[in-house]
Structure 1
């Protein structure tokens, strides 16, 4: 276990936490409502990319700065904030106080645009950014320049192995009770879509009918040329063997960040484990033991749980997560993929987005 303390005065700033993989939706901005807490309590993740202000427009960055940023195509602006920012759940914060003059945001709360907005209660040093605005995942980002990690005794995180993945993470439903698509799904599919394009080498990708087609088919058809030859995209992972010749859609472990690598193919597209497990084992809403007996069908037993929620609109992957993922893949420098990147970036509402 780890706690984080102020680098200047050693005031403890967090509860004990264990490291996990950075969620794929960590930087997502989605909709105009509060969308929940990013990190599970008792965990933390580290972002290897620069985080927060100052931001510089693309044209103001030198070639050396662009190379160091890890992007391979133009973006609106580059962050020149620190790398290795640590993100935790707001409830795991200790020993801090808000800095009121640094709490600007879009409408509902601070979004971190002013830099660190939490100060250490021991010495007043700015040590973290509380994100609490609409459309942003609730989180506290510790500034790596203002904190230091301290090991503490405590039980290690019980990280499931691959065989336990489908039991420990049974999956997040794609539609929320409100009827809107889950932002986690929009981010996960957006990121996986970028990897799928990179693996396609510019050729058509086919998707089998069913849930996989519902979430990937329309986007792939819109972005890739519809001509032969084509390669199929198929689920693979623990308990789901890959088929030779396919592009394998495999889970990314939520704790370690490891990507399942099948032996049958080298072309792998990582997908958030909560989404992958749902696609592999969608909820069975049919007759099952342990429920109530229907009055007119006493020979059948039905579940007590609710029917699946129906979406209000057609599914759209998160455009910004798609672009942010694609611009960090070296393959985007290939002319055909750069053309797709430019088209999606320049035309906000076109195609699957």
Structure 2
């Protein structure tokens, strides 16, 4: 990317905006939102000014449930990892934040190092993913080789962090998919078999009424058979589109890195060994990590997604939305 004929990033390729972009997490410094060498475009308004919820204005923006304050900042900001930027500097008088860093509350806080023109916003405060958002009119793109959109090969992310807590990437991905799963449920019960799918989706599905209709989500996608009812399919990491060939009645997309682990994840207990142990022996070390508490989907992501689905206007689903907005997943 270039701004005013000056390079503002290293060469980057476009990918879908990560689902955890809409989630704040913990009370610590988080890693970058975007992987090195990638960028995404956020179609929604970002940053100040902020205005109170207005139902007529919100529905025109395809918001179907209250979301508190609405951003009236620029739509189409271009999101990159801070380490991929070049030739930009902070605007000192706009470096306020909540705790550890800056959060863009005063508007764009980055400028061109040569001419001083405002170009974007740096965010690196606690509980926020580190990112730089370029104003849509401040940069232009130079042609580069894009990743193939038909390649579904994605490395899975383990569900448990090395520290022993549930992965925030899983919490965000499941929060997004859960909102979509509820929207296609019709308000009836949804059954999930034992296993990791049940661990991450099962507790939250108790929000549904015990109606007579019982449906079951099934993993479907590259390397798996087609599903017949509700298919949990991967969302392509480049295009953001769901797997198109599930054959299911309803399709619920899930972040590809999480879907891949659910479908094909490995178990360290059954990893083959080498060295002094006899051939064919399976090792029992290291033991798989188990978190200390139940899985809770990311509340922020769940509400963000559900508020943008027309189904939330149904009374039973609006009741769930309001309950989670007030009390979280309890």
Q: TM-score scaled by structure 1?
A: 0.88
Query: 1:1-353 alignment to 2 at 5 Å?
Result: 3-5=1-3, 9-58=4-53, 61=54, 63=56, 65-145=57-137, 147-152=138-143, 154=144, 156-159=145-148, 161-162=150-151, 165=152, 168-221=153-206, 223-244=207-228, 246-294=229-277, 298=278, 300-302=280-282, 306-348=286-328, 350-351=329-330
CA drift of 1:82 comes to 0.7
Q: State the alpha-carbon separation in 2 of the partners of residues 125 and 304 from structure 1.
A: 58
Q: Is the 8 A contact 1:54 1:79 kept in 2?
A: yes
Partners of 1:251 and 1:160 lie apart in 2 by 13
TM-superposed CA distance for 1:179, in Å, is 1.2
CA shift digits 1:249-282 (9 cap, x unpaired): 1000001112113352230111000000000012
Deviations 1:82-140 (A, max 9, x none): 11010001111111111122112221111121211111112211111111111111111
Query: Is 1:25–1:188's contact at 8 Å kept on the other side of the alignment?
Result: yes
**Counterpart Cα distance in 2 of 1:136 and 1:291:** 42
1:227 and 1:291 mapped to 2: Cα distance?
Answer: 53
Q: Is the contact between residue 287 and residue 300 of structure 1 (CA under 8 Å) also seen in structure 2?
A: no
> In 2 relative to 1, CA 62–219 (structure 1 residues): closer, same or farther, beyond 3 Å?
closer
Taking structure 1 as reference, are residues 267 and 335 closer, same or farther at Cα in structure 2, changes over 3 Å only? same
**Counterparts in 2 of 1:37 and 1:306: CA distance versus 1, 3 Å:** farther
Q: Could you tell me how far 1:346 is from its partner in structure 2?
A: 2.1
Which structure 2 segments of 5+ residues have no match? none
**Structure 1 residues 303, 85: CA separation in 2 closer, same or farther (over 3 Å shift)?**
farther
CA–CA distance in 2 between the matches of 1:112 and 1:304? 48
Q: Structure 1: state its 5+ residue gaps.
A: none
Alpha-carbon separation, structure 1, partners of 2:78 and 2:17: 9
Q: Partners in 1 of 2:311 and 2:275 — Cα distance?
A: 54
- 1:22: Cα distance to partner? 0.8
CA shift at 1:290, angstroms?
4.7
Number of residue pairs the alignment of both structures matches: 330
